[in-house]
Amino acid sequence: MFHTSIIELSERALRTNLEFLRDRIGPKTIFSSVVKGNAYGHGINNFIPKAQECGVDHFSVFSAGEALAVLEARTEPCEIMIMGYIDEAELEWAVENEIAFYVFDLERLHATNRAAAHVGKKAKVHLELETGMNRTGLPEDQLSDVADLILNNGNTISVDGVCTHFAGAESTANYWRIQKQLKNYRRMTGKLKRLGIKTFAKHIASSAATFAYPKTIQDMVRVGIAQYGYWPSQETLMHYFLESGIEDVEDYVDPLKRVIRWKSRVMSVKTVKPGEYIGYGISFLTTRSTHIATIPIGYWHGFARSLSNLGSVLVRGQRVPVIGTVNMNMILVDTTDIGQVQTGDEVVIIGKQGEQEISLGTFSDLGQYLNYEVLVRLPAEIPRTWVA
């Protein structure tokens, strides 16, 4: 009731993914579940309690607003780490609530110091190092100032971690750049130790690095996309595939299972005679007597307009093409070849129906979107519900 589509989240898929990832990283490494972007579209409110049930106790977000959402959604105590934006006022809030955050420049380190002194609690800080991505991060020539500031304010700052982020571990095109970043990271952490910052968790791996560069699995990993059941890229999957020594592609069973299944219903059906344009404009002309079904989802719901005359959905276990342009709230599909379709029939936009599956990959390749982008474009307003 009161929605035109629904996103089902599979508990079994999530458990499978988390177990697979735990196997991969070993028992000692902390698993930080990355839940920025509304838990990659899965819904932060829905995702956090279930992930906690599955044993996750560390979450990473981009901003203080997202940290607040985790705080409100959690059902048990957990660590929360802000990897991105936080403003001055939020710094005090974070310290007060024992939320960890990245520090990537001296200005923020000073501000952290002030915030912690004001609150009267230690700030939980992760020093982000500039190793070559050239986005955010402390450059090497500032490390001695950083160490001085921290050591001379022993009661305000606790260095919980020292980290960096790779500039594209999902593509071998970046191989040398990543190697260089690793080298810089090692040298800079060594320097911090010599400067007197002795104990901290090292963390550098995202999903892609966890698979493509196993030695980047250190004290903690920050895994986003893989826990939701997606490989960061085809290359990362191939890397794993080759590493597993599987000889026959047919024998390969994907260890990652998609958590999301997005479904709707047929809203209306009709038959249109040959030689008619369908929907807005003149982008689709019928060449035969055509059965058309209307589905009440459109670009507002994250079904990209670029999938006009290109995307497909599943109805009655079969794939049917989108015809005409994607509207704000509707798409039209051609069901002529699949027999009787009725109002109310289930429609799967992403995920499995019977033997067929619309993967995010096909969805995103056609529309030229990244996996990540398709997921986070799913509006928060679509209800999410857990299924077994």
Ligand X SMILES: *Cc1c(COP(=O)(O)O)cnc(C)c1O
Nearer to ligand X, 208 or 259 (CB): 208
Decide if residue 265 touches ligand X (CB under 6 A). Answer: no
Instruction: Give me 199's structure tokens.
Output: 């104990």
Decide if residue 360 touches ligand X (CB under 6 A). Answer: no
CA distances to 41, 146, 151, 321, 358 from 377, in Å: 7, 38, 43, 21, 17
Decide if residue 41 touches ligand X (CB under 6 A). Answer: no
Q: At what angle do helices 64-73 and 88-96 cross, to 10 degrees?
A: 30
Q: What is the DSSP string of 194-259?
A: HTT----EEEEE-HHHHHH-GGG--SEEEE-GGGGT--SSHHHHHHHHHHTT---GGG---S----
Nearer to ligand X, 200 or 299 (CB): 200
Decide if residue 266 touches ligand X (CB under 6 A). Answer: no
Burial of 117 (0-12, 13-18, 19+ CB in 10 A): middle
**CA pair distance 302, 304, nearest whole angstrom:** 6
Q: Shortest Cβ distance from residue 210 to ligand X (Å)?
A: 8
Q: Judged by CB under 6 A, which stretch of 204-212, 256-264, 279-287, 379-387 contacts ligand X?
A: 204-212
27 SS3 class = coil
Are the beta carbons of 190 and 178 closer than 8 angstroms? no
Nearer to ligand X, 207 or 325 (CB): 207
**CA pair distance 245, 268, nearest whole angstrom:** 49
Q: Shortest Cβ distance from residue 336 to ligand X (Å)?
A: 40
Q: Shortest Cβ distance from residue 372 to ligand X (Å)?
A: 7
Nearer to ligand X, 153 or 233 (CB): 233
Nearer to ligand X, 50 or 263 (CB): 50
Q: If you ran DSSP here, which 8-state letter would residue 169 be given?
A: T
When binding is defined by CB under 6 A, the residue of 25, 51, 61, 83 that contacts ligand X is: 83
Q: Shortest Cβ distance from residue 252 to ligand X (Å)?
A: 22
**CA pair distance 292, 28, nearest whole angstrom:** 55
When binding is defined by CB under 6 A, the residue of 5, 17, 136, 207 that contacts ligand X is: 207
Q: Give the chain's length.
A: 388
CA distances to 54, 95, 146, 160, 220 from 157, in Å: 32, 10, 11, 9, 20
Q: Judged by CB under 6 A, which stretch of 22-30, 87-95, 217-225, 255-263 contacts ligand X?
A: 217-225
Q: Shortest Cβ distance from residue 18 to ligand X (Å)?
A: 13
Decide if residue 34 touches ligand X (CB under 6 A). Answer: yes
Q: Judged by CB under 6 A, which stretch of 22-30, 154-162, 219-227, 322-330 contacts ligand X?
A: 219-227
| Interface positions, 121-180, toward ligand X (CB under 6 A) | 165
Are the beta carbons of 164 and 199 closer than 8 angstroms? no
Q: Judged by CB under 6 A, which stretch of 132-140, 224-232, 243-251, 338-346 contacts ligand X?
A: 224-232
**CA pair distance 62, 67, nearest whole angstrom:** 8
Determine the residue with CB nearest ligand X. 224
Decide if residue 29 touches ligand X (CB under 6 A). Answer: no
Decide if residue 222 touches ligand X (CB under 6 A). Answer: yes
Count of residues of this chain found to bind ligand X when the rule CB under 6 A is applied: 13
Long-range contacts made by residues 336-340, C-beta under 8 angstroms, separation at least 24? 336/288, 336/289, 336/290, 336/291
The residues that touch ligand X, with contacts defined as CB under 6 A, are 34, 36, 83, 165, 206-208, 222-226, 232
